[in-house]
């Protein structure tokens, strides 16, 4: 069955909704890290992702075949996703989810554009440059760097810097997925590779304990992290990279800091200040400028 191509407006709306979900995922995953290690939680997360995504793709009659030429891209993307899972959860366990959401999501589009320019030897357009500048300023405002100079040196937040780089590189690989088959099939196989990369390093005793835990906070957050955040929101992002490129798709991530800060305030009680509102609005302006015709 041939996949129906979404319109630009539909893709834009889907991406905005996905970025809001990503914002919610930061405080949600912070809660989740109290239950286990990044590796053990990764096994749960991607186990549910592989199953839930499969149940979604089968009714859509998606072809799961991938061109042989796409296998190296698939394996590298899956390995990078597994590494990102570790740095992402390790950062949340040791750092601040609000700050992490800002660090990763501000630096990611900038890194993605930098990598794209190096690979394709092209300069950003005037609107893209202005948008990237808006995004960087928004991130600095959200972090309130004028009174928080040591934020980049905090051990937990260093994981977030590494996460931003890993995600930017991985986005370039997923942006090629449409060349080798269905982008959805490529993403499902990538999630399976991610699970297989993480599984050998898990603690099976701890996995058994997590399976038996009756805590609704654990099950609610692990299902949100896997089914809502990854299967739906993250897959939408990877699909967008195959249609509009890693650089344009990553620009939507500028929406996440504001969303992350808002939900960190609502869920975890982190302080919400005027600079958060101003930085969030500037981040949204950055997305508009980069994607402006």
Encode pLDDT of 93-138 as tens digits: 776 655 666 677 777 777 777 787 777 667 777 887 888 888 778 7
Residue owning tokens 């809001």: 20
Q: How many helices (H) and strands (E) does the chain have?
A: 13, 0
Quick check: 188 and 10 in contact, CB under 8 A?
no
Distance CA 216, CA 236 (A): 27
> From CA 100, how far away is CA 163, in angstroms rounded?
10
The CA-based dihedral angle spanning residues 242, 17, 229, 195, taken in that order and rounded to the nearest 10 degrees: 0
pLDDT at 23 over 50: yes
Specify the number of domains making up the chain: 1
Whole-number Å distance between alpha carbons of 233 and 56: 13
Q: Is 256 helix (H, G, I), strand (E, B) or coil?
A: helix
The pLDDT confidence band at residue 153, using thresholds 50, 70 and 90, is low
Both tokens of 183, joined, read 């982008």
User: Averaged over 170-183, what is the pLDDT?
Assistant: 83
Is the confidence at residue 165, as pLDDT, over 70? yes
Residue 3 lies in a domain: no
Q: Is the pLDDT of residue 248 over 60?
A: yes
Residue 22 has pLDDT above 80, yes or no: yes
**Structural contact between residues 239 and 184, judged by C-beta atoms closer than 8 angstroms:** yes
Instruction: Specify the pLDDT at position 268.
Output: 65
CB-based burial of residue 82 (10 Å sphere; 0-12 exposed, 13-18 middle, 19+ buried)?
buried
Q: Is residue 1 part of a domain?
A: no
Band the pLDDT of 1: cuts 50, 70, 90: very low
Expressed as residue numbers, the domain containing 177 is 8-291
Q: Does residue 2 lie in a domain region?
A: no
Q: Which phi and psi angles does 121 have, rounded to 5°?
A: 55, 55
């Amino acid at each position: 069955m041939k996949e129906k191509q979404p319109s630009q407006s539909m893709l834009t709306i889907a991406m905005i909704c996905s970025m809001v979900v990503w914002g919610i995922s930061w405080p949600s995953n912070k809660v989740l890290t109290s239950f286990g290690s990044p590796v053990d939680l990764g096994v749960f997360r991607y186990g549910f992702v592989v199953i839930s995504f499969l149940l979604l793709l089968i009714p859509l009659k998606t072809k799961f075949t991938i061109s042989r030429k796409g296998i190296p891209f698939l394996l590298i993307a899956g390995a990078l996703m597994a590494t990102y899972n570790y740095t992402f959860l390790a950062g949340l366990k040791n750092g601040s989810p609000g700050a992490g959401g800002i660090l990763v999501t501000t630096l990611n589009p900038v890194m993605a554009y930098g990598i794209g320019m190096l690979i394709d030897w092209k300069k950003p357009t005037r609107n893209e440059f202005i948008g990237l500048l808006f995004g960087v300023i928004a991130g600095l405002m959200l972090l309130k760097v004028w009174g928080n100079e040591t934020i980049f040196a905090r051990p937990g937040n260093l994981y977030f810097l590494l996460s931003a780089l890993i995600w930017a590189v991985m986005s370039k690989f997923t942006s090629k997925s449409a060349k080798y088959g269905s982008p959805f099939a490529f993403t499902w196989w990538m999630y399976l590779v991610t699970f297989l990369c993480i599984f050998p390093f898990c603690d099976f005793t701890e996995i058994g304990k997590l399976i038996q835990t009756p805590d609704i906070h654990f099950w609610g957050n692990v299902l949100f992290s896997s089914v809502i955040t990854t299967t739906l929101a993250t897959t939408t992002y990877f699909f967008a990279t195959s249609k509009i490129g890693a650089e344009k798709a990553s620009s939507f991530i500028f929406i996440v800091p504001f969303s992350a800060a808002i939900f960190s305030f609502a869920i975890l009680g982190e302080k919400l200040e005027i600079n958060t509102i101003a930085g969030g609005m500037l981040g949204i302006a950055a997305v508009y400028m980069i994607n402006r015709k």
